[in-house]
Amino acid sequence: MAPLRAITPGVSMWTILAINSVTFGGLLFLLSAGFSLIFGLMRVPNLTHGSMFMLGGYIGSTAIVTWHLPFWLAAALAAAAVAVFGGVVERLLLRRLAGSVLAQVLVTLGIAFMVSDFCLMVWGGDPISIDTPSALSGGTRTLGVYFPTYRIAIILIAVVIAALLWALLERTRLGAMIRAGVDDPEMARVVGIRVSRLFTVVFCLGAALAGFGGIMGAPILSVYPGLDFAMLPLALVVVILGGTGSLIGSLVGSIVIGFIYNFGLVLLPQLAYFILFLPMVVVLVLRPQGLFGRAAP
């Protein structure tokens, strides 16, 4: 994870660092939005979420490198494959443990270990890095600052997905049903919403977003064993920071963590992971439910 290659000192370095931070924030949003949605609806912290991110990266990279698919097709394939994986996990395992949150958490953890070992077995221990899609390689120089196109594209995609998710949740019938399920699952069932089907839909959606984030991040972060458990705590910290089940919370949390992580990497490389702790401490002390979360019922 080395977002910066050549550092030219001065203003442009800070600008590049800021762009990288927002880019990383965009990737974190793809990861944490699904995590937050799943948590909001099912009350289960999905500990396979980092694995889904990594799985998306591996499947997408294989599609590009081995099968020579175009980048966007590979990305769609990765998202779809991870969505199917998420659906299977939800239907076959989590469904049977309905009502026992602890058991569900431990099962997702067990699956995370299995996926991690499975990926090591299939893709080996060497990192896989892929090129940025050719249409988005290079960059533009404006006002003396170099803007890499791919990173800007990630930011735009994250914004578009945030807007789509917002529209889905606030403007569609499905979104209204999901919100009803989040607010009061029993009442939602009483009025005829099939909450268990919503669980599957949301789980697949969250998985697809994570998988998509994995392949989008691959040209920047590369895909390597351990990526899953490096990303999982970031998603947790974002959600602890932003508040569970809140879309705007994961967006703001992702950008804050993106900034802290990237600036930390450059300014205090040995402690980069450690300083993620600081915003978490502040939020937990001052506002345990997170910046945009509601107080626990």
User: Which positions touch another protein (CB under 8 A)?
Assistant: 39, 43-45, 47, 93, 96-97, 100-103, 105-107, 109-118, 120-121, 229, 232-233, 236-237, 239-240, 269-274, 276-277, 280-281, 284-285, 288, 296
Least distance from C-beta 285 to another protein, angstroms? 8
Task: Provide the b/e sequence for 120-151 (b: ≥16 CB within 10 Å).
Answer: eeebeeeebebebbeebeeeeeeeebeebebb
**Closer Cβ to another protein, 104 or 132, answer by number:** 104
**Sign of the C-alpha dihedral, residues 212, 244, 246, 167?**
positive
Least distance from C-beta 209 to another protein, angstroms? 19
CA 218, CA 173: separation in Å to the nearest integer? 34
Helix axes 247-267, 149-171, angle to 10 degrees: 160
**Closer Cβ to another protein, 113 or 146, answer by number:** 113
Q: In this structure, are strands 145-148 and 139-142 parallel, antiparallel, or unpaired?
A: antiparallel
Nearest to 150 by CA among 209, 71, 205: 71
Least distance from C-beta 229 to another protein, angstroms? 5
Cβ atoms of residues 49 and 183 within 8 Å: no
Nearest to 214 by CA among 86, 29, 56, 33: 56
**Closer Cβ to another protein, 88 or 152, answer by number:** 88
CA 264, CA 145: separation in Å to the nearest integer? 22
**Closer Cβ to another protein, 96 or 197, answer by number:** 96
Least distance from C-beta 10 to another protein, angstroms? 27
Least distance from C-beta 101 to another protein, angstroms? 6
**Closer Cβ to another protein, 43 or 189, answer by number:** 43
Least distance from C-beta 142 to another protein, angstroms? 34
Cβ atoms of residues 179 and 169 within 8 Å: yes
Q: Which two three-digit tokens encode residue 277? A: 């702790």
Region for 294 from its dihedrals, namely left if φ exceeds 0, alpha if ψ lies in -120 to 50, beta otherwise = beta
Q: What are phi and psi of 279, to 5 degrees?
A: -60, -30
**Closer Cβ to another protein, 116 or 250, answer by number:** 116
Least distance from C-beta 274 to another protein, angstroms? 5
**Closer Cβ to another protein, 65 or 272, answer by number:** 272
